[in-house]
Amino acid sequence: MQARHFSEFEDVTRAELAARYYGELGQGLPAGPGPHMVRAASR
């Protein structure tokens, strides 16, 4: 991402998404391979 001149980037895993958006409902989700979200911002 830095090679493409993005100044900020975040790669969020399934477990991190569940904790961030679902709180207690996301408890117990297995970590590991699965969906994720990438956020990037240019300069």
- The band of 5, judged by pLDDT with boundaries at 50, 70 and 90, is confident
Round to whole Å and give the CA distance between 4 and 24.
37
Taking only the tens place, the pLDDT of each residue in 8-39 is 888 888 888 888 888 887 777 776 777 788 88
**Domain spans, the chain:** 2-42
For the entire predicted model, the pTM comes to 0.53
Round to whole Å and give the CA distance between 5 and 18.
29
Are residues 40 and 8 in contact, defined by beta-carbon separation less than 8 angstroms? Answer: yes
